A and B are shown apart, each in its own frame.
Chain A
Amino acid sequence: MDKGLGLVLPPKGEEKEIPKKNISNLLINARGDVLLDKEPLQIKDIRQVVLEKMAANDKLIISVKTHPKAKYQTYVEVLDQLKMANATRISIAETDK
């Protein structure tokens, strides 16, 4: 049986404007370093930090933006951490080319 991390993509042409205060930007660079709201952190700490941020703001949306050369494994690890923090409102930002 297949198993993995589930995610629902946003429908095409449904880009929503979200108030800036409800967005947390999570950036992944090509080397696999993670930046959450301009603070560098370890992947394994994401869960804790996101839990704290969500406790402070329950409308929080995590916007995950990855560098095109970042590895898929890093992305899955980050998504895993977000899932562990029960962050259901995850947005996958398009990578810049």
Chain B
Amino acid sequence: MKFSSKTKVSGEIPTSSMPDIIFMLLIFFMVTTVLREYEGLNVFLPQARKIERLESKRHTAHIFISKDGMISIDDKIIPMDNVKHVMYDKRVADPQLTVSLKADREASMELISDMHNELREADALKINYSSKVAAPS
């Protein structure tokens, strides 16, 4: 007597739906990926007229100061006392460093003054008060 197995299993994996799966995955990752949309703090820069451009982006460090006194360097919130250590390291790494101070226009001068002292201790003396162009009066 002959036995023949009725369920013949083919050894191939069906690939006809593979593009569907790949597109689903692609669309899923496209939808869920968020581009870096947030850098530093949300500040309203002050306005000024006699504005200079910073010479090079590479030799610039940004410090954000919000109006409620939060300080952010390289996307990290840093207490005022630590600014000198962070900036000192940056200053050692790049002697041509210019500090771009992005402070909110409503920030109090107490903060700015403390920042001046921190920067002086870090020997980062070239600063730039980042501002927007004001309409000429």
Contacts and interface: CB of A to CB of B under 8 A. Distances in A.
Contact of B108 (A5, A8, A10, A70): A70
Interface in B34-64: 45-54, 57, 60, 62
Contact of B48 (A10, A67, A76): A76
Contact of A2 (B48, B128, B133): B128
A92 interface: yes
Interface residues of B, number: 42
A7 B98 CA distance: 10
Contact of B113 (A5, A8, A95): A95
A63 B115 CA distance: 18
B105 A76 contact: yes
Contacts of B48: 4-5, 76-77, 79-80, 83
B52 A4 contact: yes
A2 B129 contact: no
Interface residues of A, number: 33
Q: Is the interface of A mostly helix, strand, loop or mixed?
A: mixed
Contact of A4 (B107, B130, B137): B130
A73 B137 contact: no
B128 A4 contact: yes
A83 B50 contact: yes
B20 interface: no
Interface of B: 45-54, 57, 60, 62, 98, 100-101, 103-113, 116-117, 119-121, 123, 125-131, 133, 137
5 contacts: A2-B54, A2-B100, A9-B127, A12-B121, A83-B50
